[in-house]
Amino acid sequence: MTEVRDRVLVIDCVEYDHIDVDASLWLSEGHETQFNSEIDGRDILRANFKKGVLRLQATSYVGVIPINDRVVVRVKPRVPIANLTRMVRDTGHNVLALATLDREYSGRGTADDWAMDIYTDALLDYVDELLDAGLLRAYERREGEGHFPHGRIDVTRTMQRFAARGVPNKAAYSWFERTVDTPANRCVKAAMDVIHGHLSKTRSKPRKGDRAKLARLAGHFHAFEEVAEDPDYRFLDDPQVLGLIPLPDPRSYYRPVLDLSIVILQGVGIALELGGSDVRLRSLLIDTNKLFENFVRVSLAKHAATNGWPAEVVDGNTDAGRIDLYDVPNPLPAPFGTPMAALASRDPGKAQPDVVLKTLDSSFPLIAEVKNTIHGMNADTDTLPERGEVEQAVTYALRYDLPFTLLIHPWIKGTKGLVYVGRVRSVDVYDYRLDLSSDAGVDAALADMASVVAGLAGLDVTQAPTSG
């Protein structure tokens, strides 16, 4: 779907779709791409030829992507994922926040550390903008009594308090005073207090950047020192804070920070799916390839710990799971009479499966490759996995001395669960199609996947677990 909003072209597509947008909107006269600086140089959009026409193509990043000030692309996942937010939350997966575009999100569930980290960055940026544009001030009525009145004389009170008692040289009076101590500012300050608590809480591992954020927050508190604290959150009854009545036009920039402050104070989480109107944040992009891999691995690790597997689930991209890809034989081969030096003696390479099961004796009963690719979407029957994926998985199985290998894909159509693909010489190839299309069925699908993995690995759960 394509639409035009305020002279900005908005295009909807799914991952890896080619995007129909005139090249003049994203190419200069010198045939250089005109992408905003935050996506330029990243593998978020690709320019390539299709049927002789230069076109843009989305990649694995989903979310709202501002190409430039004329074109915005909304990319959705190509596989049915019921709860993208859960996957990000469970894995602690990093998201890419684009400062060049804000978008609206829905609130959902309870704010955990992941959501609070996003809220922290957003609130700090919003308060910077408030201080640059000016804090909201309001005129509040003040009253006084004395020998030197100013403002407006309150005749009735003056007569009652002084004239009737024969005091001719004192008066009661009132005046209006501009103040930053308003419900809106009290709301923002209360949200800053919550963020301060989030940044200050004790953690097993200090997080990079928290000190700088605390220092930045301290400067914000200084700017709000004339704003009173309201521990009872009475400002949440104010119709202007709640958005029931509009803010003054010159102070309309307060709306996003007030919405965000309310979400923070209510402890509401964030839903990453497209659509919503509860809070406005930077556009958050998610690399679904890495997310799917992390989600599978983290889910298997949780099942291993919970069910006492005698093996731990590790990442083959780390030292705990990877091994050398090449051996250097002794003696070296000499096909022409003279032994040939092996490049692997200097660099043996690495075999790095996405998922590795490792036992106490450091053996490896199973390796798996996790691929967020689709196959069979337009076919009437189940189709083979991509050949390159099979070749990689079989190579790793041979290197780990296993008689089988496992691929894990997101289900999109056809058979769910475990599929036997076939045998490549001595290696049996299995493919597990994980169904994430139903939020209610995700836990059952993950439990089934874990049971299949444990069965293929031949794990005996009565042995001593390695984790948990």
**Where are the domains positioned within the chain?**
139-179
Task: With cut-offs at 50, 70 and 90, classify the pLDDT of residue 132.
Answer: very high
Residue 166 tokens, joined: 């024969």
CB count within 10 Å of CB 136 equals 20
**Contact partners, residue 23, CB within 8 Å, separation at least 6:** 54
Q: CA–CA distance from 350 to each of 388, 406, 424 (Å)?
A: 17, 19, 22
For helices 210-223 and 113-133, angle between their N-to-C axes, nearest 10 degrees: 40
- CA angle, 119 as apex, 115 and 124 as ends, to 5°? 155
Among 19-28, 73-82, 178-187, 426-435, the range with the most confident prediction by mean pLDDT is 426-435
Residue 283 tokens, joined: 């556009």
Work out the average pLDDT over 427-448: 93
Answer yes or no: are the C-beta atoms of 329 and 304 closer than 8 Å. no
Answer yes or no: are the C-beta atoms of 276 and 63 closer than 8 Å. no
| pLDDT surpasses 80 at 12 | yes
Cα–chain-centroid distance for residue 142? 48
Task: With cut-offs at 50, 70 and 90, classify the pLDDT of residue 224.
Answer: very high
Answer yes or no: are the C-beta atoms of 407 and 428 closer than 8 Å. no
Measure the CA–CA gap between 57 and 15, rounded to whole angstroms: 8
Half-sphere exposure of 38 (CA within 13 A, CB side): 16
Answer yes or no: are the C-beta atoms of 71 and 60 closer than 8 Å. no
Work out the average pLDDT over 239-261: 91
| pLDDT surpasses 90 at 234 | yes
DSSP symbol at 27 = B
Cα–chain-centroid distance for residue 119? 11
CB count within 10 Å of CB 444 equals 11
CB count within 10 Å of CB 401 equals 8
Task: With cut-offs at 50, 70 and 90, classify the pLDDT of residue 353.
Answer: very high
Helix spans in 209-287 (H): 210-223, 239-242, 254-266
Answer yes or no: are the C-beta atoms of 356 and 301 closer than 8 Å. no
463/430: higher pLDDT = 430
| pLDDT surpasses 60 at 58 | yes
Half-sphere exposure of 52 (CA within 13 A, CB side): 0
Cα–chain-centroid distance for residue 418? 30
| pLDDT surpasses 80 at 97 | yes
CB count within 10 Å of CB 33 equals 16
Measure the CA–CA gap between 350 and 317, rounded to whole angstroms: 9
Measure the CA–CA gap between 43 and 427, rounded to whole angstroms: 34
**Contact partners, residue 293, CB within 8 Å, separation at least 6:** 354, 370, 372
**Would you state the pLDDT for residue 464?**
46
CB count within 10 Å of CB 228 equals 13
**Would you state the pLDDT for residue 310?**
93
Mean pLDDT of the chain: 87
**Would you state the pLDDT for residue 138?**
79
**Would you state the pLDDT for residue 466?**
47
Task: With cut-offs at 50, 70 and 90, classify the pLDDT of residue 2.
Answer: low
Which strands make up the sheet holding 8-14, listed edge to edge?
Answer: 2-5, 8-14, 71-76, 61-66, 279-287, 96-110, 268-271
| pLDDT surpasses 60 at 155 | yes
Least confident of 66-75, 200-209, 309-318, 336-345: 200-209
**Contact partners, residue 284, CB within 8 Å, separation at least 6:** 63, 95, 96, 97, 98, 118, 272
CB count within 10 Å of CB 2 equals 11
Say if strands 96-110 and 138-146 run parallel, antiparallel, or are unpaired: unpaired
Which residues pair with residue 178 across a beta bridge? 139
For helices 113-133 and 254-266, angle between their N-to-C axes, nearest 10 degrees: 150
Residue 188 tokens, joined: 């923002």
Answer yes or no: are the C-beta atoms of 85 and 270 closer than 8 Å. yes
| pLDDT surpasses 60 at 465 | no
Counting every residue written for the chain, the total comes to: 468
**Contact partners, residue 39, CB within 8 Å, separation at least 6:** 45, 65, 66, 67, 98
